[in-house]
Structures are given as structure tokens and as C-alpha cells.
Amino acid sequence: MAASSLTGLTLKGALDGLAAKRFSAEELAAAHLDAISAANPHLNAYVLETPDQALAMARASDARRAAGEAGPLDGIALGIKDLFCTEGVRSTAASKILGNFVPPYESTVTAHLWRDGAVMLGKLNMDEFAMGSSNETSAFGPVTNPWRARGSNHPLTPGGSSGGSAAAVAADLCLAATATDTGGSIRQPAAFTGTVGVKPTYGRCSRYGVVAFASSLDQAGPIAKTVEDAAILLRSMAGHDPKDSTSLDVETPDFASFVGRSVKGLRIGVPDEYRLDAMPAEIAALWDQGVEWLQRAGCEIKRVSLPHTKYALPTYYIVAPAEASSNLARYDGMRFGLREDGANLTEVYENTRAAGFGEEVKRRILIGTYVLSAGYYDAYYLKAQKVRRRIADDFDAAFREVDALLTPTAPSAAFALGDRVSDPVAMYLNDVFTVTTNLAGLPGVSVPAGLDSGGLPLGLQLIGRALDEGTLFSLASALEEAAAFRAKPTPWW
């Protein structure tokens, strides 16, 4: 097969082709490495390419397949977000403060992928410490979305923080990618790039070896080309891990078995509070179209209320920075990563952190330190935790009446790089539809559902009950089939 046909395959298509011996894992990896060499100077999706390791892993995979010992992901070429520690391979969280940190251990999620036979093509760009909605806070520079608006050459954001993951999948620079979601960092980039993004239930995937941003919100998940691909990858990523105290000791279902199942009779909630006054007409129309598609598939549609939604963003931007300020205290120039000189210990700390952290990370550390400080803890952090409980209660009440919720994924299509950097609040508003699921620990999936007037992809989001990803995969595949989204970015790189 031609190299371009190999990179254009879905993950499921690649598994079928490998099983039928139409091509080898080594050929599949080589085709992707060639595509990365050509595209990455323009897209900046990968911060580190690992060609020698990829080819060695692919050859080992071919040997296993020849011996009849192929795993569930054997030979599948993946990109790994640079937030996942990979043993012996530089892992930086896209921050200067980690310098050239090479972990002596492997994250549990990536260990599961290698156990199942996957191949690592390299480490993917991201917002620094996963803090951002446009992939512009990375120490390695922004990722450029492979999509362009019709008639324009202006570079667009792929979304964040998993911008490298989404751009690499959309541009066929990997079959699928790992990503993480703290407030929408899987789903919003998926919506901006015409890919599928799944944020699983909190605790479904281990956080061990994933550089921490906000420990009670962070969750790993897949970005893939199709709902089925995401289901296959999530099964390998998930699983109980005794090294993570928040990891859920539950069985991992065969998520792919839910894809294509009938959704007849399922009750779908449409939350009133998500109909924002300033919502663009195209987003509202797509949402209505999504409701119609699910109705046609046999679902019952019901209006629901999530009254505390309006407090979700402020709650998130108290809880997440508070946890970040605590988690990032370990970066002091003493144990690993960057170290700047100083006249005394305090100066070493100050100089290292001043040089090592980017502006957005500093902003969030300052916010977090402030809301945790004496005199403000009760007024901000404690109150935010109480509101968080109310938001979760809203979902509990809604799920007594419905099986899942349908909302837009993001309030707009991809915007231009540089557009919102000077206005942090405008940037934070990108997370308006996604942060609620993180605060409540629920699963969510973004499915590409249409194009806006400029020819850019738009996504619809499904939110489910805790640990009910199966229902979401059934509904997501019904949406995927109805939307028949086949658009791909036209290569300009």
C-alpha cells in the first residue's frame, strides 16, 4: 500500500490490515514517520520524534504477530501527549522548568499501551502543564491547526491543552493519540479539528506518571479519528492501578462492543442553561440538528435543568489553580529540571521559577496561592468546593430522568492563533460547556458533527453517568452515523 493510504487508515482499519498481512507494523510506522517529517515543521504537533524507537517497537510487533502472539493494539502507531512520562524518553509537559527531564519510569497509561503492542512515534505538543485552551502557552511554541478557514491562510489554534494530539490525529500523523482533560482539554481540541475525543469517568484511567495539573480533575483519554477507534484505544488505556489512590477498582468493559448498538428508547437531556445568550447561530443550529438526529435514531428528548451551571467556570478557575499551586510547588530547581543560580536558596527558587514557568502558569499559581491563603480560603476555595458539590447534585438529579445529555462541545469553531492571548477571560470562556463534567467526575465525548460557514469543524458533546461510557459510545456512534462527517483538512503543509 502507498504510504499516504497507510497514514489515512483508521485505527480499526490498520488493525484489520495488519491481521490480513496487507502491510507490516514496520511499514505502518515508517509511513507515519515520513508524514511527520514533512508536516511537523509547519504544524509543530510533535515536540520530540522517536523514529528509532518506533521502528524497533514495530519490528518487535511484527515478530509477535508472526508468532501468533499479537496484542489488542499490536503495531498501532500512536502519538503520546508530553504530559505522560515515558521511561528513557524526554518528558517536559511543554515547560522550560522540566528542561530535558528524562523519567526513569513509565506512566501506567502508556505502560498499558506498550503491553498491548502499540508503537510510539513521539511526544506531542501541548499547553504548558496542560494550562490553556489554544496550545499557545507551550514552551515549544504553538501548534497550528491543520484546518484553514475557507479562502484564508491565517493560522488557527487546534485548541488546548491537547492541541498537539488533536492536530496530529487530524493531519494523519498518528492513528490516534493519548490526551488529558482537566476542564475540556480533550473535547475542545477534538471539536476544533474534526476528531473524536473522549474524557472518561474520573478514575477510569490511572494518573500515575501523568504530570499533575489539578489532581481532582485531571483524566487521561483518547483522541481518535472515529468513535470506534476511541473505544478501542480507551480499553487499553483504562484499568485499575494500585499506584494511584484515585484509580477505580472496576472492570474495564469492551467499549468497542457498544459502538453501533441501537439507542432506541434512550432518554436524552437537553440542558436549558447551556443555551447561552451570545451563542453563535451556527452552534445553536448544530445542536438542534443533533437533537433531531438522536430523535430519528429512536431516542426520547427531554428538557432538563442544571441550575448551578452558571457557577461552573468560576468554580473551576478557583479549584484548578488551587490544586495547581500545590502540585507545582515541587518544581524548585533542587531535584530535577531547570536550575537557575542565586546568591542564596530563596534566590535559586525565585530565579528558577521565574525563568522556568510561562506567563499563564504563573498566573494560575498566583490565583491558586491567593485562594488558599489565610483569610481567603473560606471565602473562595471552601465555597468553590461547596458549589462543586451542587453542580454534581444537578447532574445526579438530571440522570434520574435521562440517560445522557447532549450539548455543543465549544462555543465557537477554531479561532486564529494570537486572537485571545491578551484576554485570559475570553480564553477561559472556551471551557464553558466542558468544565462541568470534570467538576462532577463524569464521562464526556465530543463527536465531529458539521462544518461552520468558513468550512471549519464543529463538535457535539455527550455527557453520561459515571462509569457509563458504554451508553455514550452507542450514542456517539449514532451521532457519527447521522452526521456522516467525512471532511478532512486540505494539506497546505
Q: Could you give the CA distance from residue 261 to residue 236 in angstroms, rounded to a whole number?
A: 21
Q: Could you give the CA distance from residue 160 to residue 165 in angstroms, rounded to a whole number?
A: 9
Q: How many CB atoms lie within 10 A of CB 21?
A: 10
Q: Could you give the CA distance from residue 460 to residue 149 in angstroms, rounded to a whole number?
A: 20
Q: How many CA atoms lie within 13 A of 24 on its CB side?
A: 14
Whether the bond into 477 is cis, omega within 30 of 0: no
Kindly state the helix (H) or strand (E) to which residue 81 belongs, with its residue range: strand 77-81
Amino acid at 96: K
Q: Given 3-state DSSP classes, what are the helix, strand and coil percentages for the chain, each rounded to the nearest 5?
A: 45, 15, 45
Sheet holding 444-451, edge to edge: 46-49, 119-124, 77-81, 176-181, 219-224, 196-199, 444-451, 457-464, 404-408, 267-271, 300-304
Q: Where are the alpha helices (DSSP H) in 44-104?
A: 51-66
Q: Could you tell me the end-to-end alpha-carbon distance of the chain, in angstroms, rounded to an integer?
A: 23
Hey, which residues are catalytic here? 81, 161, 185
Q: Write down the residue that cell numbers 497514514 correspond to.
A: 7
Q: Could you give the CA distance from residue 230 to residue 222 in angstroms, rounded to a whole number?
A: 6
> What contacts 24+ positions apart, CB below 8 Å, involve 60-68?
61/25, 61/117, 61/119, 62/24, 62/25, 62/26, 64/117, 65/18, 65/19, 65/25
